[in-house]
Structure 1
Amino acid sequence: MEKKYHHGDLRNALIKAGMEILEENGLPGLSLRAIAARVGVSHTAPKNHFGSLRGLLTAIGAEGFRMHARAMRDGVSETSPGKERLRAAIDGYVAFAEAHPALFAMMFSPLYCDFADEDLSTEARKSYAVLEDISTGLDWDKGALPHGQLRTEMMLWSLAHGFATLRLAGQFRDGDCGIPKFAPQDILPDFDYRPDVPGH
């Protein structure tokens, strides 16, 4: 017997079910029918709400970016020194990827997510804003070049995302070729912040 949901509850229930299946079985196990079956509704219900599997994955991706931003902000206050916030954000970035590998891979892929979607783009922007914050005022050799702020953001994003992606791909394994299992902060350069930037 199908469960009865109000419109708003059903949408959230479908997203939650999709995230659960994604965590348990990865992308290969995710389908509109599987999500509908878990929620206990008609197999047409997800399509009525999201239009297609990609539409539902886009909604799941938006929730992923909300979680991602929280993970980067977790454990450190806005009044903490810049270096402490930098380490916490990079550690949070990688920890999120390790805790939710399938979600992490999916939410950055245009194959699965529609980045023109307003909700997804808004949440992705909020996640990126954490990187903007920790990169502001960073004192390094490329920071004084044209578009120095953007260069800094790209550098930190590349470091965090590259480290997380390689870790998920099985690289940097403990004891692999004698290499210890480094944490992100173990390879993060010893950056300083310019003293003229508030909060750093």
Structure 2
Amino acid sequence: MSTGASTTADRIVDAAARLLDEGGQAAVTLRAVATATDLSHNAPYKHFGGRDDLLGAVATRDLIQLAEQWRAVRGGSAVGRDRILDAVDVIVEFARDHPARYRLLFGAPDPVTQGEGLDAAAETALQAFVDIVVDGQREGSLPASPSDNLGIMLFATVHGLIGADAGGRLRSRTGWADIRAGMDFVIGLLRDRESS
């Protein structure tokens, strides 16, 4: 998820994201980022107050990009249940392709409590997901319930299935081919419950 960075700050965030992908949070130091970008050891401090601020910038950028991907799913050709499952695929693919960045965003939030725009980016990303939930409700693929609550519940379920899959417990216990199949099962249960 590179942005084609053009400023020094962008280059620093790109380098931090790469280091995070390669070695987890322990690999992200301002010194390592400076080395990776061929900058002086003090250069990152001109743009970021410290490591947590830099990790917050990585998280902010990733949230903005996730929101953009969900908007693209919403504007795509899929409808109903398929659109919801395509939205699920976005976070599943992010977790698979960038496990350390996924953990940064959704596992241990302390390092990302700092960073300009982080709260706004998180709210925007959640709203982009909830907008797809609202569409699913209008189309009859999801039950009529408070959309924010339903969106958060579905999002939490995705995270639980991601964790179960990463631990090797999902497929051996359920026979589901993948997380998408698990979420399809959950969506079906929700619809069945409302219909009964």
Does TM, scored on the shorter chain, surpass 0.5? yes
Aligned to 1:171: 168
Which secondary structure does the structure 1 equivalent of 2:118 belong to? Answer: helix
Aligned to 1:63: 61
Aligned to 1:45: 43
Q: Contact 2:74 / 2:132 at 8 angstroms: preserved in 1?
A: no
Given residue 158 of structure 1, which amino acid in structure 2 is its aligned partner?
A
Q: Which moved more, 1:52-61 or 1:78-87?
A: 78-87
Aligned to 1:187: 182
Aligned to 2:119: 121
1:129-163 superposed Cα distances (whole Å, 9 cap, x missing partner): 222112212543xx44xxx2232122211111222
Aligned to 2:133: 135
1:109-133 superposed Cα distances (whole Å, 9 cap, x missing partner): 3221025x44212222221122211
Per the alignment, do residues 182 and 71 of structure 1 end up closer, same or farther by CA in structure 2, a change over 3 Å counting? farther
Residue 110 of structure 1 pairs with residue 91 of structure 2: no
The runs of at least 4 aligned residues of structure 1 exceeding 6 Å deviation read: none
How many residue pairs end up in the alignment? 176
Per the alignment, do residues 126 and 78 of structure 1 end up closer, same or farther by CA in structure 2, a change over 3 Å counting? farther
How far residue 65 of structure 1 moved from its aligned partner, in angstroms, is 1.0
Q: Contact 1:76 / 1:84 at 8 angstroms: preserved in 2?
A: no
Aligned to 1:4: none
Aligned to 1:11: 9
Which secondary structure does the structure 2 equivalent of 1:50 belong to? Answer: coil
The structure 2 residue matched to 1:161, chosen from 135, 153, 159, is 159
Flag structure 2 segments of 5+ consecutive residues without an equivalent. Answer: 1-5, 192-196
Trace 1:28-107 onto structure 2 (pairs within 5 A). 28-73=26-71, 77-78=75-76, 80-107=78-105
Distance (whole Å) between structure 2 residues aligned to residue 82 and residue 53 of structure 1: 42
TM-score normalized by structure 2?
A: 0.77
How far residue 46 of structure 1 moved from its aligned partner, in angstroms, is 1.1
Distance (whole Å) between structure 1 residues aligned to residue 127 and residue 121 of structure 2: 10
1:162-199 superposed Cα distances (whole Å, 9 cap, x missing partner): 2223333x23365x47x54632231223255xxxxxxx
How far residue 95 of structure 1 moved from its aligned partner, in angstroms, is 1.2
How far residue 73 of structure 1 moved from its aligned partner, in angstroms, is 4.7
TM-score normalized by structure 1?
A: 0.76
Percent of pairs with identical residues: 24
How far residue 101 of structure 1 moved from its aligned partner, in angstroms, is 0.3
